[in-house]
Amino acid sequence: MPERGSVAVRTLVVGGGLLGSAVVRELTRRDNPVTVARIGWDSDPAADLDHELDMFAGTVDGRWRIAWCAGAGVTATTTDLFAREEHTFRSLITTIERLCRQGRLDPRTGSVFLASSAGALYAGVVGGAPFTELSPTAPLAPYGFSKLALEAQLRQLAEATGVPASIGRFTNLYGPGQNLAKPQGLIAQLCRAHVTGQPIGIYVPLDTLRDYLYVDDAAALVLGLLDESASAPGTVTVKILGSHGSVSVAALLMQAQRVLRRPIRVLFGASSQAARQARDLRVRSVVLPQLDRRTLRTLPAGIAATAADVEHRLVRVVAAGGRR
């Protein structure tokens, strides 16, 4: 049964990665009906998503939500992949507009969420930390400019249809299920180094400050933001989603070694990508502060859970002869 005080809403989650999977788990825990649309970036994601949305609209008989939790790239990704992501998201927006015009989705009973990035959008802001939703945005890399493009497309949807929309500008997400093949996620990569014994390369100063948010806590915040924003037709609610407790890279290394009870081999070096990384990315949300009044998983507990997941997955890979 749905949680007391909650109303079952049919939800389409786009993306089956770290965040998308956590949102699906949280919806399932609340006994809310959920459909997952996974994005195959190597195929024709726009056409696939158009089909998924048509199918989803056929199941809606009341309140509905669409949560974009997909992502094609990371900070170091080239612009062509981001162009594909922007094209796919534009297709999503166009299809939602069509379904609203056809009366298959009622803008008055729906809401749409976009997962964005606080680090990417505030990376080039000189001073001003902690950043809030009122801070100017200043991306340094294609990743940040692409996130701004997606946010602009979502605003156009809200204006054109009246569908309430929300944007979650996430800090650093981590937790079980993180893609170890992507060059992102310092905590997951530290856990991988712990399990394999291989060194990890760190290319930013040790006093670099980041805010780490456990992915299950992030999923609960996404659903809370969707609920809060659903009552504001035609508006776009932007909220920074994080733990609001920054940790330096040096402190994170010590914390990880304390939790994992073994030194982690670290190689320090220089990288051209470091210029796209801000040193101080402290944040403070001033929008819907009631959503932040919750108990979050502690960093040591989150590191331990991530390490257990990484070890389990890598053991399975070895048992399968190296096949992922």
| Angstrom distances, CA of residue 118 to CA of 23, 36, 132, 324 | 19, 25, 9, 31
Structure tokens at 174: 């981590």
Give the model confidence (pLDDT) of 265-286 as tens digits: 999 887 666 666 789 999 999 9
Residues in the chain: 324
Q: What is the dihedral of CA 226, 232, 237, 243, to 10 degrees?
A: -40
For β-strands 110-117 and 64-68, DSSP reports them as: parallel
**Cα separation of 195 and 312, whole Å?**
10
Strand residue runs (E) in 135-186: 165-170, 172-174
Residue 305, pLDDT > 90, answer yes
Percent of the chain with pLDDT over 90: 77
The C-alpha angle 144, 185, 76, rounded to 5 degrees, equals 40
Structure tokens at 157: 């949807």
Mean pLDDT of 19-46: 92
- pLDDT band, very low/low/confident/very high, at 78 (cuts 50, 70, 90): low
Residue 74, pLDDT > 50, answer yes
Residue 52, pLDDT > 90, answer yes
**Cα separation of 270 and 272, whole Å?**
7
Query: What pLDDT shows up at residue 272?
Result: 64
Residue 218, pLDDT > 70, answer yes
Rounded to two decimals, the pTM is 0.92
CB 305 within 8 Å of CB 176: yes
AA identity, residue 105: L
**Cα separation of 297 and 243, whole Å?**
9
- pLDDT band, very low/low/confident/very high, at 5 (cuts 50, 70, 90): very low
The dihedral through the CA atoms of 213, 216, 221, 226 has a sign that is positive
Residue 76, pLDDT > 60, answer no
- pLDDT band, very low/low/confident/very high, at 43 (cuts 50, 70, 90): confident
**Cα separation of 72 and 312, whole Å?**
25
**Cα separation of 192 and 195, whole Å?**
5
Residue 222 makes CB contacts below 8 A (sequence gap 6+) with 19, 23, 26, 67, 69, 113, 115, 168, 241
Query: What pLDDT shows up at residue 4?
Result: 43
Mean pLDDT of 292-301: 97
Residue 122, pLDDT > 50, answer yes
Give the model confidence (pLDDT) of 203-213 as tens digits: 899 999 999 99
Burial of 289 (0-12, 13-18, 19+ CB in 10 A): exposed
**Cα separation of 142 and 144, whole Å?**
5
Residue 324, pLDDT > 70, answer no
Query: What pLDDT shows up at residue 10?
Result: 97
Mean pLDDT of 124-149: 94
- pLDDT band, very low/low/confident/very high, at 115 (cuts 50, 70, 90): very high
Q: What is the dihedral of CA 51, 52, 57, 58, to 10 degrees?
A: 80
